[in-house]
Chains A and B, each alone.
Chain A
Amino acid sequence: MLTNLVETDVVIIGAGPCGLFAVFELGLLDLKCHLVDILDRPGGQCTELYPEKPIYDIPAWPEISAQTLVDKLMEQIRPFGPEFHFGEMVTELERTEEGFRLRTDGGTTFRCKVVVIAAGGGSFQPKRPPIPGIEAYEGKSVVYSVRRMEDFRGEDLLIVGGGDSALDWTLNLQPLARSLTLVHRRPEFRASPDSVKKMFALRDAGEIAFEQGQVAAVKGEGGQLEAAILKTPEGEREIPCTRMLPFFGLTMKLGPVAEWGLDLHENLIAVDTEKFQTSEPGIFAIGDINWYPGKLKLILSGFHEAALMAQAAKRIVSPGERIVFQYTTSSSALQKKLGVL
């Protein structure tokens, strides 16, 4: 694996609304940030779960859609040149003599002085389909993502779902698989019309099969899948298969964050309310991932936490430097940083 080493003041884990706003508050204090997120774009829950929904409790915005909020945050932090590492999950976090070292599953290593965990409800991960007993096959013959296409060569493949992932992998894996069946509950898809057209063309050419139905059960032995039982409008039907790829959307799991030795309170990271620092000095936690008495999982709470956290982070990165309290409306120094002067 190619490794990539990054040195920076602050690494922010999670590019949800709170991680994004932290860039602003840290930026005003001249701290340079890198952000890591498993998703392929910024916004966390706002973009992934409810981009079109209006939010009514962002101060001074009587109504703003979740996606617009994220777009505005991106615009607001642009002067600080944050660097994003999308599609990567932070898996390791350890203390070093100079600060911290983090590693991602994408092969990036960070060295930094301060870590801000803004991991929200946790990392987005593929959802397990509601098929009884599926756990026994996971990792072996039921997988939720394609790491190496070669792993599917010569297999009898069952792909379940009606979104872009299901359609894309149907098209990509068809040439390798011995047989391929796509299963979806209904004849309509939530995928690009072009992929749907290509899929039906393959079906008409007899290269793949399409079954309308739901997987009700799986059969096999020792983690090796042999068949899936489908419930179709015409009744039950057994489809032989050796590999299954279900695409049932994403869910949030705490993930690696739980393994970093930080004090937790019911799966959330315990912090103080002066600095929003965790049990490990230099590691802060803001937004939905943290807990303190009275915590409310609201975006506006995360924004406030980011501001106070930034003051403490500055003291760690630049010890001894005096921090002057300033308003963005009147400080020429801040306005220069924002690029408006």
Chain B
Amino acid sequence: MAKITFITVDGTRYDVTADSASTVMEAAIRNGVPGIEAECGGACACATCHVYVDEAWREATGEPQPMEEDMLDFAYDVRPGSRLSCQIRVTDALDGLVVRVPERQA
């Protein structure tokens, strides 16, 4: 179980709790966080669950895998810390994670 905070473009914070072994994307969809579309349902086959991981959390969430990097090519305004939230698995170590939702999804 981990508490995750999503911050949307207008600064609104969404604090949600996520089960371990679910994904950050699933936590967003379950709690209706706006701006996370997840068109493909979590298959790393689109780029519509893009988030920016807060700097303090980049080490804990790790680097994107090659397949995720490939999909990130299709995302909007990719920056350091860009991840597809369907590829971040929730663990207890991510309790307190903060991610930002980009201005738009691909």
Contacts and interface: CB of A to CB of B under 8 A. Distances in A.
A130 B75 contact: yes
A214 B73 CA distance: 9
A130 B104 contact: yes
Contacts of A188: 69
A329 B8 CA distance: 58
A50 B77 contact: no
Interface in A287-324: none
B74 A127 contact: yes
Given A49-B40, A127-B106, A186-B69, A214 B77 contact: yes
A186 B77 CA distance: 13
B69 A248 contact: no
B21 interface: no
A335 B6 CA distance: 59
A161 B104 contact: no
Given A130-B75, A190-B73, A248 B43 contact: no
A184 interface: yes
Interface in A176-206: 184-186, 188, 190
A216 B40 CA distance: 25
B76 A185 contact: no
B40 A185 contact: no
B60 interface: no
Interface residues of A, number: 20
Interface string A256-286: 0000000000000000000000000000000
A170 to B, nearest CB: 15
B50 to A, nearest CB: 10
A163 B74 CA distance: 11
B78 A214 contact: yes
A273 to B, nearest CB: 25
Interface in B86-106: 104-106
A190 to B, nearest CB: 5
Contacts of B78: 185, 214
Nearest to A216: B77
A17 interface: no
Contact of B73 (A49, A185, A216): A185
A185 B45 contact: no
A162 B74 CA distance: 10
B63 interface: no
B72 interface: yes
Contacts of B40: 49-50
Contacts of B73: 161-163, 184-186, 190, 248
Interface of B: 40, 43, 45-46, 69-70, 72-78, 104-106
Interface of A: 49-50, 53, 127, 129-130, 161-163, 184-186, 188, 190, 214, 216, 231, 248-249, 251
Given A130-B76, A188-B69, 20 more contacts: A49-B40, A49-B43, A49-B45, A127-B106, A129-B106, A130-B74, A130-B77, A130-B104, A130-B105, A162-B70, A162-B73, A163-B73, A185-B73, A186-B73, A214-B77, A214-B78, A216-B77, A248-B73, A248-B106, A249-B74
5 contacts: A49-B40, A127-B74, A186-B69, A216-B77, A251-B46
